[in-house]
Amino acid sequence: MSQQIALRTDDLAVTYTGNRNVEALKGVDVEFPENRLTAIIGPSGCGKSTLLKSLNRLHDIQSNVDVSGDVLLEGRSIYDTDEPAPEIRRRIGYVPQTPTPLPLSIYENVAYGVKIHGDYESKSDLDDLVESYLRKVNLWEEVRDRLETPAAELSTGQIQRLCLARSLAVEPDVLLCDEVTSALDPISAERVEETLESLKTEYTIVMVTHSMDQARRLADEVVFLYLGELVESNDTRSFFENPQRERTRSFVRGHTIAETDGDETNENDAEAESEPADEPVPAER
Ligand SMILES: Nc1ncnc2c1ncn2[C@@H]1O[C@H](COP(=O)(O)OP(=O)(O)OP(=O)(O)O)[C@@H](O)[C@H]1O
């Protein structure tokens, strides 16, 4: 059965123009299948966040960023279009690393999203929708008795799930998640992972992560970037068990060793970044 493609890039290039030009993405062609979770991985500075932000035109709000090529949502350009950028960002939601609740109650944080989408007729409809989105992110049971308290009183992990609920409430087609567990303690991170696991059959999710373990656990597909270029993208099992490129093998091996040692930073980063992309790496020990 062939997989539907929700989102894809076409020769996407991004350059930061400032005191010096930084080519952060160089002609990237990558596909994100519908209702699957795709992890974007790669060493620090390889362009993961730049790619994620290109996928819903977040660079528009920054000066000094040149974007060329294209991003297509269900086959239609999100750059060459009359569709307003806020509507594009509603359809392709972005969840940042550090969650920021609105200075409102728990209820109103989610209701805010529903009101943007406008798909309710009565207060009771709104109540039902708020409950359903809080249930989707596994937060309902934890907050049902205190919906009117300020969202800021929740724990960071609960706030992250609340922000996910708010993003879902505008009914996006795609959800972009930028290292959404990295600011959380392990238990809160686990709850957010459980939430993403339950959402991924219903939404197309694209997630940047530094953790190979997290990519293995959660992702259906993996995209590996290196120095702004796409090295390899494949289903998760093939990616980790049968990488096609030497660069991928080297990166996965380095991370596996680092994570086994309890350090999720990539010990290979410095070494990897100093090597030209197509230089052969030593054979696996
Ligand atoms: N606003 C900016 N202005 C200039 N250069 C930038 C800007 N943002 C990112 N860069 C540069 O673009 C390149 C890619 O950065 P990006 O943040 O996309 O990498 P990343 O893979 O997400 O990194 P990390 O894993 O450390 O978060 C890096 O060289 C970075 O220094």
Rounded CA separation 19/172 (Å) = 37
**Which of 23, 25, 28, 49, when mutated, tests ligand 1's pocket best, judged by the most ligand atoms within 8 Å of its CB?**
49
Q: Ligand 1: which residue has its CA nearest to atom 26?
A: 44
Which pLDDT does position 63 carry in this prediction? 85
For residue 259, what pLDDT is reported? 56
**What spacing in Å lies between the alpha carbon of 255 and ligand 1's midpoint?**
20
Using alpha carbons, list the distances in angstroms from residue 197 to 176, 193, 217, 234, 277. Answer: 14, 6, 9, 19, 33
What's the gap in Å between 220 CA and the centre of ligand 1? 25
- Separation of 253 CA from ligand 1 center, angstroms? 24
CA-to-CA distance for 128 and 227, rounded, in angstroms? 46
Which of 46, 97, 224 maximizes ligand 1 atoms within 8 Å of its Cβ, making it the mutation to test the pocket?
Answer: 46
What's the pLDDT at 265? 42
CB 40 within 8 A of CB 9: no
For ligand 1, atom 28, the nearest C-alpha belongs to 45
Q: pLDDT tens digits, residue range 136-171?
A: 999 999 999 999 999 999 999 999 999 999 999 999
Tell the residue nearest (CA) to atom 5 of ligand 1.
Answer: 16
Residue 204 — pLDDT band, cuts 50, 70, 90? very high
Q: Each residue of 113-122: pLDDT tens digit?
A: 899 877 788 9
Q: What are 53-79's pLDDT values in tens digits?
A: 999 999 988 889 999 999 999 999 999
Per-residue confidence at 269, pLDDT binned at 50, 70, 90?
very low
3-state secondary structure the chain: CCCCEEEEEEEEEEEEECCCEEEEEEEECCEEECCCEEEEECCCCCCHHHHHHHCCCHHHHCCCEEEEEEEEECCEECCCCCCCHHHHHHHEEEECCCCCCCCCEHHHHHHHHHHHHCCCCCHHHHHHHHHHHHHHCCCHHHHCCCCCCEHHHCCHHHHHHHHHHHHHHCCCCEEEEECCCCCCCHHHHHHHHHHHHHHCCCCEEEEECCCHHHHHHHCCEEEEEECCEEEEEEEHHHHHHCCCCHHHHHHHHHHHHHHHCCCCCCCCHHHHHHCCCCCCCCCCC
- pLDDT of 133 over the 80 cut: yes
Q: How confident is the model at residue 91 (pLDDT cuts 50, 70, 90)?
A: very high
Q: What is the mean pLDDT of the chain?
A: 88
The residue whose C-alpha atom lies closest to atom 2 belonging to ligand 1 is 16
Mean pLDDT computed over 89-97: 92
Return the minimum-mean-pLDDT range out of 1-5, 51-55, 62-66, 205-209. 1-5
Mutate to test the pocket of ligand 1, among 14, 21, 48 (most ligand atoms within 8 A of CB): 48
Q: What is the mean pLDDT of residues 74-89?
A: 94
What average pLDDT does this structure show over 8-22? 94
**CATH topology for 5-274?**
Rossmann fold (3.40.50)
For ligand 1, which residues put their CB under 6 angstroms from it?
16, 18, 22, 24, 42, 44-50
Residue 37: pLDDT band (50, 70, 90) is very high
> Mean pLDDT over residues 44-60, rounded?
94
Give residue 49 CA to ligand 1 midpoint distance, Å: 7
Q: What is the pLDDT of residues 217-234, one digit of tens each?
A: 999 999 999 999 999 999
Q: Can you tell me the distance from the alpha carbon of 171 to that of 160, in angstroms, rounded to the nearest whole number?
A: 18
